């Protein structure tokens, strides 16, 4: 297994979202937006059903309750405004009537897309916006959330660690791929 990177440039994130909406690929747009905004592992993201994201009134829920496949822990995950908007737009195009239906279905079947297809999609999106210098894959969406939380929103590494379910801050730092260039940049900026 190869290590994959987060998307580090917010302009590239915006470019992928714009590209997917422009292609009228609202399933892919929702997959990308929900993925980068929830930091769910790909196995949990692909296992979501329509019923997981809708409340009793048929509205997009603010929170989803899942049992994480890897850790077997129950988790309550917030669907922020952008994730809910992407899902709303997706459901307007493909009405959600069956709560048991996979949220992100294959276009060829009524089954969820699989990890291999998700990997192909994510790599294609990254390549299409010029991200070719690093490896990207199914963990890219989750890592992008962590990277952006730290870099753009100054979220303490301990909170990111808790969100991602890592055992130590060191694991989280390694997971986010803190580079030598970032350390050098900090060394240049911190002048006492």
Enzyme catalytic residues = 41, 70, 139, 142, 166, 175
Tokens 């791929």 appear where? Answer: 177
Longest dimension (CA), the chain: 61
Contact 9, 15 (CB under 8 A): no
Determine what percent of the chain falls in helix, strand and coil, rounding each to the nearest 5.
55, 10, 40
- Asked if 39 and 145 touch (Cβ cutoff 8 Å), the reply is yes
HSE of 45 in the Cβ direction (CA atoms, 13 Å)? Answer: 27
């Amino acid at each position: 297994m190869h290590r994959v990177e987060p998307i580090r440039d917010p302009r590239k994130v915006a470019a992928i979202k714009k590209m997917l909406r422009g292609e009228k690929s609202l399933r892919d747009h929702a997959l990308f937006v929900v993925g980068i905004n929830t930091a769910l592992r790909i196995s949990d993201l692909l296992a979501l059903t329509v019923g997981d994201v809708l409340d009793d009134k048929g509205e997009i829920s603010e929170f989803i309750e899942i049992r994480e496949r890897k850790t077997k822990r129950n988790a309550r995950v917030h669907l922020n405004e952008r994730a809910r908007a992407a899902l709303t737009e997706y459901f307007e195009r493909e009405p959600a009537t069956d709560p048991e239906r996979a949220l992100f279905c294959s276009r060829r079947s009524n089954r969820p897309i699989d990890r291999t297809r998700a990997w192909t999609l994510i790599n294609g999106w990254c390549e299409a916006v010029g991200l070719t210098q690093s490896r990207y894959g199914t963990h890219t969406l989750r890592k992008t959330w962590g990277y952006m939380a730290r870099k753009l929103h100054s979220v303490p590494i301990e909170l990111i660690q808790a969100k991602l379910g890592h055992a130590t801050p060191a694991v989280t730092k390694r997971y986010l791929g803190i580079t030598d260039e970032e350390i050098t940049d900090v060394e240049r900026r911190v002048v006492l």
